[in-house]
């Protein structure tokens, strides 16, 4: 099993997955995904060549990543102003 993330949805028919540490792009049909899977979801995929045989959503890792991103956004919002002066 390899790790992947849903990078984007194209024309509501295809999904671009970024697979592994190299973030290799793999395009699959939205019909191959589990229902209610959204952009940013972390997946485990099994494939043979470029054929995807099995896709499962890693709910724990997806929730953890979304929480981490939400915390970073909150920290950025709390910062006071920019260090750069406008002219």
Give per-residue pLDDT as tens, 5-48.
Answer: 888 888 888 989 888 888 888 888 888 888 888 888 889 888 88
Whole-prediction pTM:
0.71
Q: How many CA atoms lie within 13 A of 5 on its CB side?
A: 11
**Cα of 2 vs its chain's centroid, Å:** 14
The pair of three-digit structure tokens given for residue 60, joined into one six-digit string: 């724990």
Whole-angstrom distance, CA of residue 72 vs CA of residue 40 = 16
Given 2.40.50, 1.10.3300, 3.30.410, 3.30.70, which CATH number is that of 2-77? 2.40.50
The pair of three-digit structure tokens given for residue 18, joined into one six-digit string: 């970024």
């Amino acid at each position: 099993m390899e790790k992947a993330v849903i990078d984007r949805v194209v024309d509501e028919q295809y999904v671009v997955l970024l697979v592994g540490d190299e973030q290799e792009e793999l395009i699959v049909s939205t019909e191959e995904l589990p229902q209610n899977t959204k952009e940013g979801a972390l997946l485990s995929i099994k494939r043979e060549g470029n054929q995807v045989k099995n896709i499962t959503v890693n709910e724990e890792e997806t929730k953890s990543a979304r929480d981490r991103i939400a915390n970073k956004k909150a920290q950025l919002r709390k910062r006071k102003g920019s260090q750069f002066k406008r002219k």
